[in-house]
Amino acid sequence: AITNLLRLATLNQKISPRGIPLMSQDQWDLVLPLAVLELKNAASQNATIADAYNQLQTYLHQIPSMFSTNAVLVTSDGMEARIGSITANAERFMPWRTVNGQDFAHRGTPELETLLRGVFTRENLLALIRDFIVFGDKGEGPFKIIAGYHQFHGAQKAVQQAIEATRLDGDRKIGVIWHTQGSGKSLLMAFFAGLAVKSQSLENPTLVILTDRNDLDDQLFGTFGLCRDLIRQNPEQADSRADLKQLLDKAAGGVVFTTVQKFSPEKGEESFPLLSDRRNIIVIADEAHRSQYGFESKLDRETGLRRYGYAHYIRQAMPNASFIGFTGTPIEAADINTPAIFGEYIDVYDISRAVEDGATVPIYYESRLARIELSDDEKPLIDAEIEALIEDESLTEAEKMKAKWSAVEALVGSDKRLAQVAGDMVTHLEARIEAMNGKAMAVCMSRRICVALYDRIIALRPDWHSNDDSKGAVKIVMTGAASDPLEWQQHIGTKRRRDELAKRARNPDDPLRLVIVCDMWLTGFDAPCMNTMYIDKPMRGHGLMQAIARVNRVFADKSGGLVVDYIGVAQNLRNALSQYTGSDRDKTGIDESAAVAAMMERCEAVRDLLHGFDYRPGIEGQPRERLICLGGALDWVLKWQESQAARQKSEEDKKRAHRRFLDMVLELSKAYALASASDEARAIRDEVGFFQAIRAALAKTTATGKISEKDRAFAVQQLVDRAVASSEIIDILKVAGLQSPDISILSDEFLMEIGKMEKKNLALEALKKLLAGEIVSRSKSNLVESKAFSNRLEEAVARYHAGAISAAEMIQELIELAKDMKAARARGDEMGLSQEEVAFYMALAENESAVEAMGDEKLRLIAHELLEQLRNNVTVDWHQRESARARMRVLVKRILKKYGYPPDLADEAVQTVLAQAEILLREINT
């Protein structure tokens, strides 16, 4: 039953929450409110998801007894809808995008109906309450977790597949579930386990959970410990092969954790002994991919013994078991072992859907390569060394790989290079923290380098050090032994020490800001407030994707995570992403230039809104002048809002018009925070601060513009004026051996030199940088031309990133683009026009119909007269005063009409000409 208004009497007042599903006996002598739905009126001016969430928090505070039997909470404003638990913060309220687990409602479609039909049917609601809610307390207060729709349906699909695979005629390959990192894969495994142990068809199975490292085994074991009520028993960890055999030596039941390494034969053995031949064993493999579960065979040339992949030995140990794999990264296209062991995909929840749902945030990429000093003789060796570090090396090759790794480690960990990395990292991190509160992780190649980097950092920032593990801004997380060097011992600790540091890392208010790791915490570790990862270790494939996912967790107003690359993992990242869908590649490994571009785009939007008001005194003036300018800017925005709202018909559209400036500045602030370490961000720092001041003043002044705690927390602090980019960090043009030539005078010989470079990726990046710089330069003088070239460059880059063209083909396309840009410079001489006149000619000729109707000669005459008349009639402030702009529009229209420019194309041409005029005349005036 559902009641729309349940009036509850409290000590002080009566409160009437709306929308409460009730469970009751027939006689209504017992009423159990299972859910509270706060449904805001979509037509109301204050109808937001945030207000609905805040209303629920008020109910929780004022009438806690109503929530004693609560299962779920729902918030909605009519369009958006979210579901969460009584302990979840606003960011962890998630959409429910499916009714049946097959068809998904995408973002932008009404969400409330899907949530209601997907959750509140009798069958689904009871299943959610019974099998998909977890309670726990990790020492920071009790919490309650509700499964997301992907976990709810993914676990049920997996159980159905398990029933089919474990039949007498089944193939014992249950399948693979790919749910991207950060989306709750560990809980999904526990939900599946809970359903499996209850299933009569599975005959009370024994569940064997496999991981490949002890720390991962501990982390997953901890998650299952929280879910002991769902799995109806306490999970157990096998300490040895003998212990594992004893735990499996029963007829049914049990949840056993072990590592794959326990399935290695003893010395002198080629096979693994039988542990159990029961059919009701289900092996659950975490991160199921070929490096852990391959079948490959290797012959030891010293002993003559054969060694196999772990999958072979696991099958020998449990020949009748069924297998299911869970992974946070997709199965590689060339990986035939994973499907051979586990079967095909059961369910996929990829990066794109996770980001769209708000389950994770996008990851941005910034290259800050730190030079490895090598002689010319040594350079050819480095690629071969790195190439040897593949993740599926056999056991017999381990020592060889270790030797090669050591050679590279010595170069990466040289004193001179580490000094450069430490200096740049400290400066970069401080800029990040001042712009967007959060934490960072640095990944080093070895424990030795971890310690050396730590020493370099505290030499630069002594106050970051503390001998007390509960204090200090930087810590190393690593294991070790008493035999390790003395200077390492302060950083080597017990599991208890690591657990305490993990708590500090997860606490956004703790002064710990940077953790340095080698292998620890790169998988399975969650610290939502961590937003930056510094990589100085060669990584690839699954390991790389798992590592960078440490910064994709949702937290407060965190817009994205940033991966800063000091060693050059970009190509490996692209190779790893090639296994993902195209939309996933757009959400992961985004170049930092995308963040800068987004910031500048939003900044231009705010500037355009303030067009006509001179706010320079608010940035450059003295304090009194800034305050006066702020008052003027506030008045300007208020008038603009009123004029925009007056044009709207619906109340909703009027409300949006009043919110537009507030929303635009908030979006700019978020984008600025992501790009805060860039030179572009530093250049507009004070301007962004002034826009934020206008926003804050507007929020205080307007009745409906109250500033929320969320907005206030996200306000970006002005950064200290300092150069973030270290001069020691590589300039791509210098690495390519180029001298940053002016592309307008590029010779054919230079372009041929680019085309012949052996390092195609380096040549590509160098040419892209030159072309992008030239396009920006041209945008100051020729709007249409720069837009056309910019589109060509973007399209070529997009095809390259999509894998449609190779690096070599991409270079050829860019060389052709460079030649066309060079030819465009000579166009004026050929046509008898100045560069300024060419710009107006292109503005007029942008529409091909006009060229066909009038011909080049007439368009040249119009361009010449336009430039002459505009120069003669322009005033200094013409682009700021609407009356002056109107006169200029009339002037342009008159000239177009004089020469017979097609009337149906005139309005568009006038706008383009005026935009070109504004750019050109501003450039002339400066």
- Where does 748-782 have alpha helices with state H? 748-756, 760-778
Max CA pair span of the chain: 97
Window from 74-88, 335-349, 449-463 with minimum mean pLDDT: 335-349
Same fold, 2-146 and 363-384+413-588: no
Averaged pLDDT for residues 141-160: 96
For position 899, what pLDDT does the model report?
81
- Nearest one of 914, 908, 909, 833 to 874, comparing CA atoms: 914
Whether 154 and 188 have beta carbons less than 8 Å apart is answered as yes
pLDDT at position 199: 96
Distance CA 834, CA 436 (A): 48
Residue 76 pLDDT class (50, 70, 90 cuts) = very high
Pairing of strands 439-444, 81-84: unpaired
Section 76-84 average pLDDT: 90
Say if residue 626's pLDDT is above 50: yes
Cβ–Cβ < 8 Å for 728, 423: yes
Q: Is the pLDDT of residue 620 over 90?
A: no
Query: Is 587 or 205 the better-scoring residue by pLDDT?
Result: 205
pLDDT value at 753 more than 70? no
List CB contacts of 693: < 8 A, sequence separation 6 or more.
618, 630
Amino acid letter, residue 505: A
The pLDDT value given to residue 739: 44
Contact by Cβ (8 Å): 896, 830? no
Q: Name the residue with tokens 């005029």.
A: 917
Look up tokens 């990584």; give the residue. Answer: 539
First-to-last CA distance in the chain?
72
**Residue 549 predicted with pLDDT over 70:** yes
Query: 209: buried, middle or exposed (CB in 10 Å: 19+, 13-18, 0-12)?
Result: buried
pLDDT band at 530 (very low <50, low <70, confident <90, very high): very high
For the chain, give the mean pLDDT. Answer: 77
Tell me the pTM.
0.59
Q: Would you say domain 2-146 falls under CATH 3.90.1570?
A: yes
Joined together, the tokens standing for residue 221 give: 């074991």
**pLDDT class for 529, splitting at 50, 70, 90?**
very high
CA 673, CA 679: separation in Å to the nearest integer? Answer: 13
Q: What is the pLDDT of residue 270?
A: 80
Q: For residues 198 and 232, is the Cβ–Cβ distance under 8 A? A: yes
Determine whether 25 is exposed, middle or buried from the number of CB atoms within 10 Å of its CB (0-12, 13-18, 19+): exposed
- Among 436-440, 583-587, 839-843, 901-905, name the one with the lowest average pLDDT: 583-587
Average pLDDT over residues 30-53: 80
Q: Which CATH architecture has domain 149-357?
A: 3-Layer(aba) Sandwich (3.40)
399 Cβ contact partners less than 8 Å away, ≥ 6 residues apart: none
Please give the backbone phi and psi of residue 257, each rounded to the nearest 5 degrees, phi first.
-105, 140
Contact criterion met (CB below 8 Å) for 297 and 275? no
pLDDT at residue 387 in the model: 42
Tens of pLDDT, residue by residue over 484-525, are 899 999 999 888 899 899 999 999 999 999 999 998 998 878
- What single-letter amino acid sits at 180? T
Residue 60 has pLDDT above 50, yes or no: yes
How far apart CA 477 and CA 299 sit, in angstroms, is: 37
Element (H, E) at 23: strand 18-24
Of the two residues 655 and 750, the one the predictor is more confident about is: 655
pLDDT score, position 706: 40
Bridge partners, 176 (sequence order): 325, 345
Please tell me the predicted confidence (pLDDT) of residue 351: 81
Alpha carbon dihedral 764, 769, 773, 775, in 10-degree steps, equals 30
DSSP-derived secondary structure for 898-911: HTT--HHHHHHHHH
Q: What distance in Å separates the CA atoms of residue 611 and residue 605, rounded to the nearest whole number?
A: 10
Give the model's confidence band at 18: pLDDT under 50 very low, under 70 low, under 90 confident, else very high. low
Domain boundary assignment for the chain: 2-146, 149-357, 363-384+413-588, 599-714, 832-926
pLDDT exceeds 70 at position 386:
no
pLDDT band at 281 (very low <50, low <70, confident <90, very high): very high
Residues 6+ apart with CB under 8 A from 883: none
Q: How many residues does the chain have?
A: 926
**Which tens digit of pLDDT belongs to each residue from 350-377?**
888 888 888 888 888 888 888 665 544 5
Helix (H, G, I), strand (E, B) or coil at 596: helix
Tell me phi and psi for residue 58, to 5 degrees.
-65, -45
Please report the pLDDT score of residue 744 as a whole number: 38
Q: What is the pLDDT of residue 908?
A: 75
d(C-alpha 615, C-alpha 626), whole Å:
9
| 176-190, 726-740, 848-862: the lowest-pLDDT one | 726-740
Tell me, what's the pLDDT at 787?
76
590 versus 158: the higher-pLDDT residue is: 158
Higher pLDDT, 703 or 200: 200
What is the reported pLDDT for 254?
95
Distance between CA 83 and CA 81 in Å, rounded? 7
Q: In the prediction, which pLDDT does 21 show?
A: 60
Q: Rounded to an integer, what distance in angstroms lies between the CA atom of residue 222 and that of residue 498?
A: 15
The beta strand positions in 405-471, using DSSP E, are 439-444
Question: Collapsing DSSP states into helix, strand and coil, what is residue 271?
Answer: coil
Residue 45 has pLDDT above 70, yes or no: no
Question: What mean pLDDT comes out for the span 465-494?
Answer: 92
Pick the CATH number of 363-384+413-588 from 3.40.190.10, 3.40.50.300, 3.40.50.720, 3.55.40.20: 3.40.50.300
Which tokens belong to 82?
A: 């979210």
Q: Which residues pair with 349 in a beta bridge?
A: 179
* Cα torsion angle, 758, 761, 764, 770, sign: negative
